[in-house]
Amino acid sequence: MTSLNFLLLIGASLLFVGLLLGSLSVRFGVPSLLMFLLVGMFAGEDGPLGLEFSNLETGYLVSNIALAVILLDGGMRTRLATFRIGLQPALTLATLGVALTAGLVGAFATWLLDLDWRLGLLLGGIIGSTDAAAVFNVIQGAGLRLNERVASTLEIESGLNDPMAIFITVLLIQLLLNPDSLSATESAIALVRQFGIGAILGVAAGAVLAELLLRLRSNEGLYALLLCSGGASLFALTGELGGSGFLAVYLAGVIAGNRGGGVGDNVLRSMDSLAWLAQSGMFLLLGLLVTPSALNDHGGYALLIALFLIFLARPLAVWLCLLPFPFSWREKFFVSWTGLRGAVPIVLAMFPLLAGIEQTRLLFDVTFVVVLASLLIQGTSMGAIARWLRVALPASTEPLQVTAFSGSKDQYLMQFRVADGARVTNDKFSEINNNDFQAILVLRDNKAQPLDEQLRIQPNDRITWLTSLAEKERLADMCQSITPSIKRFYGDFTVRGDVLVTDVLAAYGVGHSDPIQPTLTVSQLFQRRAGRPVIGDTLMIGGLRLRVRAVQGKEVLQVGIRLPR
């Protein structure tokens, strides 16, 4: 009994210290996941506590369950509208991008470490994909609000690229164990099976989970447990059938989080707590698995591989994959810099160890150094890089509450507090509504106001709108105060997107050397340049800097203007 209490004390204390340091590290720009890894290494056999833990099977099992919970939570927070913007570039990065990265890193590792080419490519496949847990955690921890084109691409890529990495890893393990066992046809079938079974089961399970959430009437705290247990079961079933459990769980989260109006804030908060528990426990356990003294043998080579991946392989793969898409050089640079490695590569590095392949402890140690380097170099600098490249938008006011409106598809009750100096201040009630959002409640000093058309909106009013999630940014922009940072980003003046470009140029007394069609609106100009504009897209015309401030679908609703200096 004493030993059980001692183990409980050690486990709970490590988790407590990891969570405490993780919450503090975010203030200094250090990813919290890195702190969990370091706490695990500190408690390991080379650390002061000297805990010996080398059970790969337990580590593999716990990591897979944790990743299932993390991907399910990430999928539930991904809006379907995101897929319309980022699916094509993200899918290209998740397939061709992973293959290119794996090939480049594999070739470099083969030359640097003098390995069998199959082992070198196996290492490339293991560290070829970005990690959803790391991407979601670091972006959230850095407090970044990225433009929608970049954010959607990164979210979807990190959720979809695991099947390709798993396919490459499993294929090369089989080639090492039995070189004559696989043909090109069998390899192609295995790849289709990974994506196909994962996609089909993920969509089907997501629809079932969504229906259960709509029909069950129970404590909302139980909904999160229901979702997590269903997600873990889906992960295991998909893996048994030869599909990608990672893809299945992510798609199930997307379907469950969007169907029938999605889920409420309470469920998402419960899921967030479970996801934090999963990733903290997983990274602590992975840290315990590592023996830091063993990393000295190949630490220098591993660091060179990490630098090659970060500064050459990932950027080259990203730039090639995004050539057909309307990404600016700043956006491409940031997407390439956000190729974070995390738990998934470490889990994949366990595959050859469990298969009993020689020299694979080397691959595990190199992978761990690559993950540490990625979190240290890319994770700690992500916020600064985003602001330097101007792909980060000004901080937005978050709604006080978001609740799915029962019986209406994709309709939510969304409440905002009106800040001092907000654009809606002193507007009439009739002026704050349109076809896309309808105010149904105005609270002033905790008292509901009569919804008279002549009612004037005042600071500190709490307004509840009935609207879709796509309108959250527009409503936030209306209710937040116009700070100096917002003025610097968007400019001092605002025009509607349906205004003619020639009228804008004439109004500000500037000329333009290129001929402009007289009937071309500002919105149409952005559509010609960017295809599907997003908030933050920028154009220079006649010395004026135009920056998208509000958008709906493909239509630009508002544009900020900065005059020539």
Whole-angstrom distance, CA of residue 374 vs CA of residue 376: 5
Identify the bridge partners of residue 465 per DSSP, sorted by sequence position: 414, 439
User: Which tokens hold the place of 32?
Assistant: 């919290």
DSSP state of 426: T
DSSP state of 428: B
Taken in order 417, 422, 425, 431, the sign of the CA dihedral is negative
Identify the bridge partners of residue 464 per DSSP, sorted by sequence position: 415, 441
The 10s digit of each residue's pLDDT in 94-152 is 889 999 999 999 999 999 988 888 889 999 999 988 877 677 777 776 677 888 888 88
pLDDT of residue 365: 85
C-alpha distance from residue 12 to each of 282, 285, 310, 432, 498 (Å): 14, 13, 35, 51, 58
Q: Tell me the domains of the chain and their CATH numbers.
A: 31-35+55-290+299-389 (1.20.1530.20), 401-479 (3.30.70.1450), 484-562 (3.30.465.10)
Whole-angstrom distance, CA of residue 63 vs CA of residue 353: 15
DSSP state of 491: -
Q: Are 68 and 149 in contact (CB under 8 A)?
A: no
pLDDT of residue 145: 81
- Nearest alpha carbon to residue 138 among 272, 29, 27, 271: 29
pLDDT of residue 514: 64
Neighbours of 2 (CB within 10 A): 6
Residues of the chain under the 50 pLDDT cut: 1
Q: Are 238 and 201 in contact (CB under 8 A)?
A: yes
pLDDT of residue 15: 82
pLDDT of residue 320: 95
Distant-in-sequence, close-in-space partners of 505: CB < 8 Å, separation ≥ 6: 511, 512, 516, 541, 542, 544
In angstroms, how far is the first alpha carbon of the chain from the final one? Answer: 75
Q: Are 163 and 244 in contact (CB under 8 A)?
A: yes
Identify the bridge partners of residue 402 per DSSP, sorted by sequence position: 414
pLDDT of residue 410: 67
C-alpha distance from residue 360 to each of 19, 173, 232, 356, 501 (Å): 32, 10, 28, 8, 61
Whole-angstrom distance, CA of residue 352 vs CA of residue 176: 10
Whole-angstrom distance, CA of residue 420 vs CA of residue 110: 61
User: Which tokens hold the place of 250?
Assistant: 């992510």
Whole-angstrom distance, CA of residue 192 vs CA of residue 3: 49
User: Which tokens hold the place of 61?
Assistant: 């099992």
User: Which tokens hold the place of 94?
Assistant: 């998740």
pLDDT of residue 220: 63
DSSP state of 465: E
